[in-house]
Amino acid sequence: MLSGNKNNTIGNWMNRNIKYVFILPSVFFVIIMIIFPLVYNLIMSFNQWSLSSITPPKFIGLENYIKLLTDERFLISVWRTLYFSFIGLVIQVFFGSLFCTIST
């Protein structure tokens, strides 16, 4: 009688938590494939490190970001990206609205 009660307890646990059991593989996949590399790259962005050397990474703080945000080529490329994205968005909304109006 005691073993039957134990199986019933496991069955009740499975019924209550089956949704988590099915979601668990996808949660692990997201953590391993997306969150871990994202956090690792964020941490490594505060270091100076060459893949071709065997020396350990050297912590340099915000120096990489300061160098990036003061680089003229980077700022020009950001401006061009925003400009072309805005122009593309305006053209798509205009023609989409035009075709929608014409077709009704």
The pLDDT tens digits of the residues spanning 31-74 come to 999 999 999 999 999 999 888 888 899 999 999 999 999 999 99
Percent of the chain residues topping a pLDDT of 90: 73
**3/53 same-domain check:** yes
Q: What's this model's pTM, rounded to 2 decimal places?
A: 0.64
**57/83 same-domain check:** no
**6/53 same-domain check:** yes
CA nearest to 39, candidates 52, 26, 30: 30
User: Would residue 3 count as lying in a domain?
Assistant: yes
Structural domain total, the chain: 2
Q: What is the DSSP letter of 101?
A: H
User: Would residue 53 count as lying in a domain?
Assistant: yes
9 vs 76 pLDDT, higher one? 76
**46/75 same-domain check:** no
User: Would residue 66 count as lying in a domain?
Assistant: no
Angle ∠(58,63,68) on CA atoms, nearest 5: 125
**49/88 same-domain check:** no
- Domain span including residue 11: 1-61
